[in-house]
Structure 1
C-alpha cells in the first residue's frame, strides 16, 4: 500500500526525444485539424485533471476535452503508454467531428474547451523538469502557455510526443 502511494506521488522525469535522439522516429505527431496538434493533460481544481486535443492554427490555439480524469496508478502496457492516442476517449473525440475548431462553437460543447487568438497569448515555452504526481503516466514534457489577460495554462504532453517540434511549430505562428 505504501509503495502504491509513493508511486502515485512520484516525480518521474519526462520521456524525451531530446535526451534520447534515437527515439525521435518513435515520437508520434498527433493527427488533427491544426497545423500543430498535441495531446495534453492539464491539472485543475487542485488535484483533478483533464486531457485535451490542442490544435494550433495560424490565428488561434484551440483545445477540446477528450478525456476526463486520469487516475494514478494508470497502467498501460509500455508499447501502448507511449502512444498519445491511447489517452483519448474516442467517444468524446467523436463529438467534434462536425465542429470547426477555430469557431467559438467548440466552447459551447464543453465548458472545459477553449479558444485563444494569437493576440491573447503572451508566450509559449517548454518545461522539461519532472512533473510531481505523474506516477505511472508517461509524458514527454510540458507546454506552458502564458496568457495576457488571464492565468497561464500548463499542458503535460502524454505519451511520446516531440515536444520541441510542438513548441517550434506553435512559436512560428507568432
Structure 2
C-alpha cells in the first residue's frame, strides 16, 4: 500500500502523455536584409513578438538558381516558404528567450511593452516579383530591438495569402 501511494505521489507531478502543448499564434513574413531577404515565423505571445528565421534567401525562378524558389502551385500558402528543418527547432525554444535568440543570429524578440505602433501598410512591396503578398505589418518600437540590424522599426512583408486584420488582432489592434 505504501508503495502504491508513493507511486501515485511521484506520478502526480508528471503531465499526461497526451497533454497538449500549445504554441503561440504566428504569421509568416519576409524581411529584406540589405541585398538579400529572410523568411520569419513570427510568434505573438502575451508579452513578446518572437521572430524566428525559418528560411534564407527566397528568389524568383532564374537560371542562376540563387536561393529557394517556391513553386507556383503552392506560393499562395505561407507555410510553403518555411524550411521545415529550421522551423522545427523552435518548438522547444519558445519558453526560453535566450536560447531562442541564440538559435540563429537573425532571430530577434520585441517586447510588447516597447511597441509604440503596429499597423498594416497595404501597399505592394517593390521587388517581390510574382510572389503574392498582402502588404506589410509595420511595427514601431520605443527602444531599439537588440540583435542584428538593431532598429526601432520593423517591416514584415506578408507573403502568400494571409489576412492582415487577423494578424493585427494578435497585437490587440483592431
TM-score normalised to structure 1 length: 0.73
Alignment of 1:24-43 (within 5 A): 33-34=23-24, 36-43=25-32
Secondary structure, in 3 states, of the residue corresponding to 1:81? Answer: coil
Moved more, 131-140 or 92-101: 92-101
Q: Summarize the Cα distance change of 1:102–1:157 in structure 2 as closer, same or farther, 3 Å threshold.
A: farther
For residues 42 and 95 of structure 1, the distance between their equivalents in structure 2, rounded to whole angstroms, comes to 20
| Structure 1 portions without partners, runs of 5+ | 1-31
How many residue pairs end up in the alignment?
139
CA contact (8 A) 2:58 2:70 kept: no
Say which structure is richer in helix.
1
TM-score normalised to structure 2 length: 0.73
Q: Summarize the Cα distance change of 1:89–1:119 in structure 2 as closer, same or farther, 3 Å threshold.
A: same
> What is the root-mean-square deviation of aligned Cα atoms in Å?
1.9
Q: Summarize the Cα distance change of 1:130–1:140 in structure 2 as closer, same or farther, 3 Å threshold.
A: same
- Provide Cα deviations, 1:19-74, integer angstroms capped at 9, x if missing partner: xxxxxxxxxxxxx821x3100000012x2100100011111111100000001244
Q: Summarize the Cα distance change of 1:170–1:164 in structure 2 as closer, same or farther, 3 Å threshold.
A: same
Structure number with bigger Rg = 2
